[in-house]
Amino acid sequence: TGIFRTQGTILVKAGLKLRGRDVGPVRLPLVDATEHEVSHLRQDLAAAGL
């Protein structure tokens, strides 16, 4: 659940971007979070009160 739905760095960077802190894309061989993953992350953050 939460940040562990995929490789941690991917969702950490996506979460920071959601909070207004764009730290850039992940480095290869990783790929940025999909819209589906970001949607779930947004729901998880809201459920946690963040």
Which two three-digit tokens encode residue 4?
Answer: 């562990």
Structure confidence at residue 2 (pLDDT): 64
| Domain around 20 | 2-47
Mean pLDDT on 28-34: 95
**Most confident by average pLDDT, 7-11, 17-21, 46-50:** 17-21
Q: Report the distance separating Cα 30 and Cα 43, nearest Å.
A: 23
- Report how many domains make up the chain: 1
| Sequence-ordered alpha helix ranges (H) in the chain | 8-18, 35-47
Identify the band that residue 8 occupies on the pLDDT scale cut at 50, 70 and 90: confident
- The CA distances from residue 7 to 32, 34, 49, in Å, are 10, 12, 23
Q: What is the pTM of this model?
A: 0.80
- Looking at every residue in the chain, the average pLDDT score rounds to 90
